[in-house]
Amino acid sequence: MKIYQAKDYNDMSRKAANIISAQIIMKPDCVLGLATGSTPVGTYKQLVDWYQKGDLDFSKVKTANLDEYKGLSKDNSQSYYYFMQEHLFKHVNIKEKNTHIPDGTETDAEKAAEDYEAIISGLGGVDLQLLGIGHNGHIGFNEPSDIYPKDTHVVDLQESTIEANKRFFDSIDEVPRQAYTMGIGTIMRARKILLLVSGAEKADILYESICGPVTPSVPASILQLHPDVIIVADEAALSKMGIS
């Protein structure tokens, strides 16, 4: 596990974009596992900027997103399909057929999960998986539990996650209560994992995830067992780590 300290959110975003850019340059047809939420927005913005300057080519890149709200269609402004279009896909030369996100409109949870696992397997697996971390330690939408979910599945979102996501909706009542998400096993099969963490409010859970016991009650703690994890975090998020 490698930890890179960034000065602030912007510095974190640039450092993360550098790592993703290197992956694309080294393997132009790489498979990127992508994340949503506020944390990676700056990283995507930097990648778009470099693409527009002619420094990056996404024409052969394939992607698989971590998760999607169950029940939201692609044209819903809060769907993760919509998020990825707005923040990355429509601004670069990636092919639509090469982008993959769980089908939030599929009502058969078992079919949705099996279909998405088949897609990832068909891509040859994920070369680099981008992650954020929730206040309760969730990665993707894998909430604290008694077990580590192996594969893509439907999950009931915890109240803390619903509360954290309500800022994206008009009211908390509009926040979906379920989501499709890659399982912990799916995430851990990625060849490289890039975890981004920003802000003092994530300092405690980052410390617990890195320095605490490996337990499904803190889903991100499983990353301690992955052979190739890079953490890019700003000074505030690393404030409990004793890194200077």
Question: 67 an active-site residue?
Answer: yes
Question: 76 an active-site residue?
Answer: no
Asked if 104 contacts 139 with a C-beta cutoff of 8 angstroms, the reply is no
Q: How many residues does the chain have?
A: 244
Question: 10 an active-site residue?
Answer: no
Q: Alpha-carbon distance 131 to 206, whole Å? A: 13
Q: Alpha-carbon distance 240 to 207, whole Å? A: 6
Three-class SS state of 225: helix
Question: 136 an active-site residue?
Answer: yes
Annotated active-site residue in 65, 67, 106, 142: 67
Q: Which residues lie across from 5 on neighbouring strands?
A: 233
Annotated active-site residue in 18, 136, 151, 226: 136
Q: Which two tokens stand for residue 77?
A: 């402004």
Annotated active-site residue in 87, 100, 138, 153: 138
Annotated active-site residue in 68, 106, 143, 234: 143
Task: Give the number of other CB atoms < 10 A from CB of residue 173.
Answer: 8
Residues involved in catalysis: 67, 136, 138, 143
